[in-house]
Structures are given as structure tokens and as C-alpha cells.
Structure 1
């Protein structure tokens, strides 16, 4: 089956903030997560989106301020999609983390039996707290035993793709992780070769920014980990699109 993507929340922002020469109008961005059922490993969760861990309850002052500025409106949670597919949270053996921003990891603590597949953790863990907070990483959202349950993408075997190379997550070429640096340390996307589908997460906020080479020029650039690398990642995705691959993003607008 193809992966199922759903909006954990929506954010309302001006278009010009996330698209060069964008309009002044306000657009509603999604904050997506995904669920894909592997034929042998069962349901695989792709990020967890925003959850109540960010918006309510006992939180650090920094996380309260973060939620107060962005004001996400919560919608569907991963458990809802899992239920619709006939699964429970405890059935999830693996969660793929595209990167460690709060809007991708806030629900990890709910999956007590899952292992986490991610890249760049050693570099992130070595960063001072101020740098983590600047990039929207709140370690309070991570399970206490996160490192014990982590599978580093960097250690997985490499396989060729028509537009580059990826890491074979399960050794059967059904799902590959591709490096898409620039937005965040360790930022990765997923490729389903059978479906010619790429989930490019936050390589950009809008598909137009990639297709038309119109990345934001204003304050949104401050979040980039490496702007030159982000430009290279966009070029890779355009090559993939020319090779017939569909590109899906975390924050594509919703109506």
C-alpha cells in the first residue's frame, strides 16, 4: 500500500514568509505525519507531527513560548490513523524521524515499544542548549531512552536511485532514506521506489518553492541549518521530479 499522510495540525502564516515573491495573503499549512504498512514489519510511523505535548500540560517556558508564537491548531493524531488501519500504538516497531524539530517529534513518547530511525543525532546532541532551542528542538519531547532505541541511518546499507543514492531501511529496497540537508541537521526524506514517491519533509515549506526555485528570502531563512545545502537538496528533488517521482512535503497547504 501507499503511505497514508494526515495533518496533525495546521498553521496560518503569510505566503510571502515561505515563498519568494509570495503574496500577502494568509495561507494554511499542514503539519503532516505518515503511516505506512510494511509487509513484514507492520505499521511504520513517519514523524508524529504536533501533539498535545506541545500545546497543553506541563512544559518548559521555552516550549510554551514556542507554541504561543506558532499557535498550531491540532487535528488528527497518529493513533487515529493507526486505529483506522486496524492497529494500535504498541504495534508500531519503527518510527522514521525526518529531523528533530518539535513539529516532527512531539508524539514520540507515546510509542513505548518503537525504535527510532534517524540521522544526525550525534551532531545534534553535541549542540549547546541555546542552539537546539534556536532550531526548534526541545529535548524534553524525546523519550528518556531515546538513544537506546535509536537506529542511525548513517549505519544502514546504501542503494542506488535514478537521481542519487539512499539508505535501504529494511534491506528489501521497499523504503529508502535520502539525505536532504539544509533545513536541519540530519534532515532526511523517504523514497518508495515501487510508488515513485518521495516524502521530502521540510526540504521546503511549499512545493512551488522547489519546482520554481523560489525559496523564502526573509525571516524564514533563519531556521536553515545550511542554506547552500538546502539549495542542493532542492536541485536533487527537481532531478527526481524529472525522473517521474512525485514529491510530497510536510507543510504543503491545506484548503
Structure 2
């Protein structure tokens, strides 16, 4: 029996506009400028990874979070343009949230992890590779071939020192044929219970991971969907600096269509900071899977978020509420 666990591997501080401002000018060079200069509209969002315990394939980790040095020695860890673009308190990570501790609470060791699937190569998804030097890193070929790409010619898409922790890297080409409304897929496991689906847009080679469980399927979305609400991308969109942003919107619509075709599909975003993650999804996945009652609770919650047409309910539209402190960290209503 396959199990999937949600792992909270720290948090990150982001501008509200990075998550929700895509319909209001957070595009292209202007988005990068606002990212670097907007210091009064921060929110804290979780960094989630997902651990798959497969009866034949062993442990497969989807994304790896951040590591201790990234968080607590930020200024020394990051050099060059990366140091100036991000704040020293960009990440928060306690000892209990470090990957080795999160695995130990479930009875596993870092040495037990055989594969790490990176949805993409951004820092908050590959920093934890430093804990897993013997694991095989699996990424899409499109992501790997763009690892040296620089936005506007000077902003690196991938911070190479974090990627260097991976000793064995396997790239995939989606050679397993079509799946539902996806033209291509890749069977990560021999029994086809774990599939990789191409969802380019957040990065050129971003992918999602589909896991077939008992009575439902779980789609680990990485940053194609920061949160559940981003499924309604006519109402809210995320930051987009690259030319591939239209691809992200197309990927989101493809996920929405997959959800219509597979009514039992459950979405597992990477940074959802709402009740969807903390009151419904994470508690069920803390024990390795969702019960029928928990699945019903998820569906009931989704009905409070989306209209029948898939738009956001008015009360579910995210709005920034300033915080009381000088750090300008606020919260999101909706």
C-alpha cells in the first residue's frame, strides 16, 4: 500500500504580489523590480515537500525544501546577484523542521530516501539536497537543459551551489505516453502508480507528480499552483518574470481539466498557507493518506472557495492585511 506524507520543511517570506499580484503588473522586468523593492507587503508561507513510501520502489521525496545554511547563514551562503535580490530572513527553519528531523518523526532516515523528484530547480525546492547526497535526483530534461539560463541575461534561474549537492542526476523525457488530457507522461514506478506530468510555466521544465492511492489520486503541484486558489487563474495569478508565463496559465488550465476528468483528484500545492493545507490536507497526510471522511471534508472546503464555474467565491479572493510590526509581515484574508 502506497503512503504519502506531507512534510513542513520551513517557511519563506515573500511579497504578497509575488503570490497574488500577477493580474496587477507583476510580469516581466517590472515584476523583478517590484520583487526587489516592495518591502511593505510581505507574507509568510510554508515550504511543503511530500514523501512517497512505495512498497516496491521505497522512499521517493518530492522536493526537498531548504537547508540550515540557507536559512541561518543566508548572507554567506548566497553570493553575487542572489545575495542582493533576497533578504537575509528570506527563509525560516527550525531544527524540528529540518529534513532529517521530519523524516525521523515518521520512522525514516535520510539514507532511506532513494529518489528525489524536483518539480523544478528553485532554491526552496532543492536546498535540502545537501542532506541527501546518495539519493538520485530526478528532473525533467527541459529543466536540466535550462539550468544555466539567466533571466534578462544576468539573473540565474538556478543557484548552482545548491544543485551541486546532487551526485546522481536522471533527466526524464516523458516517454510513457499520454495520460488523460496530458499529451505525455513518465511512469516513475514500474506499476504506474507514480507518474510525472509536464507543467511548464513557473520554470521552463516544471513538472507535477501524480500518485494513485486507495480511492483517490493526489497531484503534487509544486509551484504550478502556489495554493489551491491559484487554480482559478482568471481571478488570481502569481509572479511571472519569464517569457514562459503563458505556459504556466496553460498548465493550470490543464490541471483544472484533469480535475474535471478525475473527480477523486486531490491537489497538494507547495506553499498553501490556508485552511485547505493546515486543517484538511496536512492532518490527513500526517498519517500517510486521507480517509473517506477527510476527502469529503476537502470537497466541502473547496465548495466554499470556488463557484460551480471554477471562479473564486467573492469571500475567497485573497487580500493583504498589514501586520503590526516594523517587519511589514502581514497576512492574507480570503
Do structure 1's residue 124 and structure 2's residue 146 form an aligned pair? yes
For residues 1-255 of structure 1, the aligned pairs below 5 Å read 1-13=2-14, 15-20=16-21, 27-57=43-73, 58-62=76-80, 63-68=82-87, 71-75=90-94, 76-119=97-140, 120-127=142-149, 131=153, 133-135=155-157, 137-143=158-164, 146=167, 149-154=168-173, 157-164=175-182, 165-194=184-213, 195-216=216-237, 220-222=239-241, 224=242, 226-242=244-260, 243-244=262-263, 245-254=265-274
Q: Does structure 1 retain, via aligned residues, the 8 Å contact 2:233–2:249?
A: no
Alignment RMSD (CA, Å): 2.8
Q: Does structure 2 retain, via aligned residues, the 8 Å contact 1:48–1:103?
A: yes
In structure 2, list runs of 5 or more residues that go unmatched.
Answer: 25-39, 276-334
Q: Does structure 1 retain, via aligned residues, the 8 Å contact 2:120–2:207?
A: yes
Cα distance in 1, alignment partners of residues 207 and 234 from structure 2: 20
- Shift in Å, 1:70: 6.0
Structure 1 window deviating more from structure 2 (178-187 vs 201-210): it is 201-210
In structure 2, the CA distance between the partners of 1:4 and 1:246, relative to structure 1 (3 Å rule), is same
List per-residue Cα deviations over 1:119-176 (Å, max 9, x = no partner): 12442245359858443x2101123664xx111121x541443332421012211100
Cα distance in 2, alignment partners of residues 51 and 225 from structure 1: 30
Aligned residues: 247
- Shift in Å, 1:232: 0.8
Cα distance in 2, alignment partners of residues 50 and 254 from structure 1: 21
In structure 1, list runs of 5 or more residues that go unmatched.
Answer: none
Q: Does structure 1 retain, via aligned residues, the 8 Å contact 2:208–2:219?
A: yes
Cα distance in 1, alignment partners of residues 146 and 233 from structure 2: 31
TM-score scaled by structure 2?
0.66
Structure with the greater alpha carbon radius of gyration:
2
TM-score scaled by structure 1?
0.84
List per-residue Cα deviations over 1:85-122 (Å, max 9, x = no partner): 22211111111111101111011122121111101244
- Shift in Å, 1:6: 2.1
